[in-house]
Amino acid sequence: MSSRRNQLQSLTFPGEESREVWTCEGDENWTLTPQGPPGVIGIEMLAFDSAPFWSLNHDEAPDEAVAMRWEGVGLEAAEGARLWTHWEVAQMQGRTLVGTVALVDEPQAGKELRFEPSVRMLPLPPNSLVIWKELGRLTVAFTRGIHLLHVTVLAGRRLDADAAFELRDVFLVLQMHGYLTKLDAIHVWTEGESDFAPQLACLFEDVAVVKEPRPDPRLPGTSSDLLPAGVAAMKKTREKRARQLMIFAMAALLYVSFFGAWWLGIEWRGSRIEAENERLTLLQPQVDAVREAQTRWYEMEPAIEPDLYPVEVFHQVVALLPPEGIRLKEFQMDNGKLVIAGEATSVNHALGFKDKLAACTPLQRYTWNFPVPRIRDEDNRAEFRAVGNIDGEGAQ
C-alpha cells in the first residue's frame, strides 16, 4: 500500500498562456514542474461543447439519453472513441437535470493514460459563476449547488464590459430553461480590464464578486472515460500492429519449431547411420570372409552339384535324344546359361525334342527359349536351337 501511495502522479493542465505540468508523490501536495511522466491530460474547454438538459429516463438508461442528446445535434462518436461525458446535477418533479460536455475538436494528445475536461480538475464553488483563462481564452463555468452545470468559452479574449454582457446573456439563457435559479457569487480567477468589475456589478445585482487566484488543479475523483477519436485510432493501430506482431511471432515460433524438429530428426538419423556404419566397419572382416566362402562355393558348385556339372547335364540332354532322327551339333554351358543346337529330319522330331526338354525333371531349373525350327531348302532338314536360363519359371 505504501508503494502505491508513493507512486509519482502527473497531470497536464491548460494554463493561462501555456500548458502546465503538475506532479504529486502520493495524494496531496501537487507541485508545478517543467515535465512529468505520462499521466492525466486536462483538455481545454475550447475543445468542448456543453449542453445541459432535462431527462425523463436518465435513471433507466443514462448513457442512451446522453447519446441521443448529442446525436440530435449532429455529433457522432467515432469507432472505439468516447467523445462525451455526463453527470447528474439535480432532480425535480420526476426529471433529472443532466450536465454533459462533448469533444467537438480533436485535442493535443500524447502518451497520456487518461483524458479529462480541465473544468473537472478545478474545485468550483457552489452556486457560482467562475471565470478563468485557458491558453489565452476566457472560460466560464456555472455551478448549481455543488455540481457543475454548464461551461463555455467567451467569444472575446479580454475580460471587459463586453465580456460582462456576454456573461449576463449566458446566465439568462440558463435561467430561461430552468437550469439555474440563483447565483451566490462570481469568482474571477484571472486579470480583467478596469471596466469589467463595474459593469458586472450593474448586471448582477446582489451577487458578490470575488477576485482571487485560480486554485491549483488536482485529479478528479472519478474518470470521465473520455477517449478522443485520434487517440482511439492510434490505439486501434497499435492493437492491430500488436496482433500482427503476435501472429508473426507465432509463425516464427512454429517455423523454428518445425525446422528445429526436422533438424533434430536429421541429426538423430545421422547418428544412427553413423553408428550402423561403425558397426558394419567392425563386421567388415566377417562379411569379407563370408563373401570369399561364397565365391569359392560358386566356383566349386558345378563340380559338386550334379544338376550343374556339365558332363552330367550333357548326359541328361543326350538321354532325351531318340534313337534316330536328331543329331546334336552344339552344347554349351556358361554362367547359368545352357545352349543346345542341332538338326532333325523333320519339324515334328525337333518339337518332340523340345517337349522332352521341358518335361525333364533335372532340367526344370532352366527356362527354355525354343524358337520355331528353320527348314533347310537343300534337304528339308529342320535346324533347331534351344537356350535355357537357370533359375527360370518353366518352359516357354
Question: Rounded CA gap, 321 and 325, in Å?
Answer: 9
Percent of the chain with pLDDT strictly greater than 90 = 33
User: Which is nearest to 127 in space by CA: 90, 102, 163, 173?
Assistant: 90
How far is the C-alpha of 8 from the C-alpha of 376, rounded, in Å?
122
* Average pLDDT estimate for 101-118: 79
310-390: which CATH architecture?
2-Layer Sandwich (3.30)
Flag whether pLDDT at 358 surpasses 80. yes
For the segment 236-240, the average pLDDT, to the nearest whole number, is 74
Distance CA 262, CA 207 (A): 86
Q: Summarize pLDDT for 314-348 with one digit per residue, the tens.
A: 888 888 888 888 888 888 887 778 898 999 888 88
User: Whole-prediction pTM value?
Assistant: 0.60
Report the percentage of the chain scoring pLDDT > 70.
Answer: 91
pLDDT at 111: 56
- Residue range 258-276, pLDDT digits in tens: 888 888 889 898 888 988 8
pLDDT (tens digit per residue) in 177-215: 999 988 999 999 999 999 999 999 899 988 999 999 999
What would the pLDDT profile of 130-164 be if each residue is shown by its tens digit? 999 999 999 999 999 999 999 999 999 999 999 99
| 295-302: average pLDDT | 66
Q: Residue ranges of the domains in the chain?
A: 2-227, 310-390
Alpha-carbon gap, residue 288 to 73, rounded angstroms: 101
* pLDDT score at 153: 96
Which of 27-41, 88-102, 194-208, 211-225 has the weakest average pLDDT?
27-41
- pLDDT score for 306: 61
Mean pLDDT in residue range 8-27: 86
Query: Dihedral sign, CA of 307, 311, 314, 319?
Result: negative
Which positions ≥6 away from 346 have C-beta within 8 Å?
Answer: 325, 380, 381, 382
The rounded mean pLDDT for the chain is 85
pLDDT at 1: 39
Read off the pLDDT of each residue in 116-139 and give the average, rounded to a whole number.
Answer: 95
Cα separation, 334 vs 366, in Å, equals 13
Determine contact, residues 369/396, Cβ cutoff 8 Å: yes
Show the CA angle centred on residue 321, arms to residues 370 and 319, nearest 5°.
110
Count of Cβ atoms closer than 10 Å to residue 235 Cβ? 13
The pLDDT assigned to 143 comes to 96
- Residue with the bigger pLDDT between 55 and 213: it is 213
Q: Is residue 147 a contact partner of residue 87, using CB atoms and an 8 Å limit?
A: yes
